[in-house]
């Protein structure tokens, strides 16, 4: 290894600002061309510094996954935030407090919850009705217009709630394994949102967002008004696996010191395990892929696989390269959102640390 990256002593999440800015620029451009409001999901990077890179591209509306994250970004000057998580009644006081200062949108899929919220808030709160377009996680099913309209009516009747439109995360695109398959699944989800929108007698907001879908589609139709993907900012091996990006689109790698090697097999043990990566796996059961560092960043060829992890150990099988104790290997993460969450800070190629939302939980 020519550059031994001597300032890296422990597992360190390295970020390539140029790639990340390129990923942001591409998605901003796509949303603008399609005429959609871009509300990127900040749950992937969770960093005020990276938020500024979005601001540089003209982004003003954002999406987050928790109340604490909304508070963090609100304190950094973001004043139009969607909390894309089913409203947690136990935090309604904090949501109401935020709504007293900035434009806050929440997600609701239950009449019971909407009724309770309407009694508890004292400030204008925008409410998206969450729609399940196939991910089978949360949201009212797209083919249940009666339930959707009942919830809509409840929101309209309420003093402080304002109907923001409908929202769907088509998370089931993560099960696809080709661009064509993603395209089909995403278009089907959009068709389902169009079905729902058609039930309303007026033009409504329709927010759609998932990285595979937003990466492969260019035409989102006329009904969709907002896009809110998140993972695209970094991408990761899962997105490569799905087929929607290339390894050279990945914006972060976890740099791990090699601590010991097996003498008989091309296997080395890294300082880097479940507490650094989390435990997401590709279909081949690996927890990440290996890249080599170079003096200016990392190489884009995959030269090994992170085959096994425990709490702090990672075992890597190398392919055509060698590494010994004291070296550092770059691991392309399977799921960059979770790895960023575990690491909670970033090191730029210039040696500057960027902060990450410190968990308010």
Interacting residues toward its own copies by CB under 8 A? 8-12, 43, 65-68, 85-91, 94, 109-110, 112-113, 116, 137-138, 171, 257, 259-261, 269, 271, 274-276, 278-280, 308, 310-313, 315, 324-326, 328, 337-338, 341-344, 359-361
Report the alpha-carbon distance of residue 346 to residue 332 in Å, rounded. 14
Report the alpha-carbon distance of residue 335 to residue 318 in Å, rounded. 21
298 DSSP β-pair partners: 293
Shortest distance, CB of residue 222 to its own copies, whole angstroms?
A: 30
Total residue count of the chain as it appears in this document: 361
Shortest distance, CB of residue 334 to its own copies, whole angstroms?
A: 10
Shortest distance, CB of residue 347 to its own copies, whole angstroms?
A: 11
Decide: 42 and 64 in contact? Cβ < 8 Å: yes
Closer CB to its own copies, 250 or 255, in the complex = 255
Closer CB to its own copies, 66 or 225, in the complex = 66
What's the token pair of residue 105? 């949108």
Residues 6 or more apart from 16 whose CB is under 8 A from it? 251, 252, 297, 298, 349
Shortest distance, CB of residue 125 to its own copies, whole angstroms?
A: 16
Closer CB to its own copies, 95 or 223, in the complex = 95
331 DSSP β-pair partners: 254, 290
Closer CB to its own copies, 87 or 224, in the complex = 87
Shortest distance, CB of residue 21 to its own copies, whole angstroms?
A: 24
Shortest distance, CB of residue 264 to its own copies, whole angstroms?
A: 10
- CA angle, 23 then 328 then 247, to 5°: 25
Closer CB to its own copies, 36 or 213, in the complex = 213
DSSP-derived secondary structure for 301-315: S--EEEEEE-SSEEE
Return the sign of the alpha-carbon dihedral for residues 238, 241, 243, 249. Answer: positive
Shortest distance, CB of residue 277 to its own copies, whole angstroms?
A: 10
Block residue for tokens 């796996």: 281
Half-sphere exposure of 233 (CA within 13 A, CB side): 24
Report the alpha-carbon distance of residue 217 to residue 180 in Å, rounded. 10
Closer CB to its own copies, 169 or 289, in the complex = 169
Closer CB to its own copies, 9 or 33, in the complex = 9
């Amino acid at each position: 290894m020519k550059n031994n990256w001597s300032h890296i002593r422990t597992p360190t999440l390295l970020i390539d600002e140029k790639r990340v800015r390129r990923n942001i620029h591409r998605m901003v451009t796509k949303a603008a061309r399609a005429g959609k409001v871009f509300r990127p999901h900040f749950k992937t990077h969770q960093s005020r510094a990276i938020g500024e890179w979005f601001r540089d591209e003209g982004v003003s509306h954002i999406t987050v996954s928790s109340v604490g994250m909304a508070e963090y970004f609100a304190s950094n000057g973001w004043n139009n935030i969607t909390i894309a998580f089913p409203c947690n009644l136990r935090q309604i006081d904090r949501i109401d407090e935020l709504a007293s200062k900035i434009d806050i949108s929440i997600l609701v899929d239950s009449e019971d919850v909407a009724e309770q919220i309407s009694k508890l808030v004292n400030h204008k709160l925008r409410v998206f009705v969450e729609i399940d377009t196939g991910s089978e996680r949360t949201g009212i099913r797209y083919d249940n217009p009666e339930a959707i309209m009942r919830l809509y009516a409840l929101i309209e009747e309420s003093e402080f709630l304002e109907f923001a439109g409908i929202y769907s995360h088509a998370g089931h695109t993560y099960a696809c394994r080709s661009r064509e398959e993603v395209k089909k699944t995403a278009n089907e989800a959009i068709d389902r949102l169009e079905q729902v929108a058609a039930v309303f007698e007026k033009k409504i907001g329709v927010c759609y967002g998932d990285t595979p879908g937003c990466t492969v589609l260019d035409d989102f139709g006329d009904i969709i008004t907002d896009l809110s993907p998140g993972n695209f900012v970094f991408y990761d091996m899962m997105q490569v696996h799905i087929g929607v990006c290339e390894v050279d689109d990945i914006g972060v790698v976890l740099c791990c010191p090699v601590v010991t090697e097996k003498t008989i097999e091309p296997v080395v043990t890294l300082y880097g395990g479940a507490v650094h990566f989390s435990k997401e796996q590709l279909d081949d059961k690996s927890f990440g892929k290996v890249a080599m560092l170079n003096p200016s960043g990392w190489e884009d060829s995959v030269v090994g696989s992170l085959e096994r992890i425990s709490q702090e150990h990672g075992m890597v099988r190398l392919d055509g390269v060698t590494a010994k104790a004291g070296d550092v290997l770059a691991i392309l993460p399977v799921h960059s959102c979770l790895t960023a969450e575990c690491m909670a800070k970033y090191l730029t190629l210039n040696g500057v640390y960027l902060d990450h939302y410190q968990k308010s939980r």
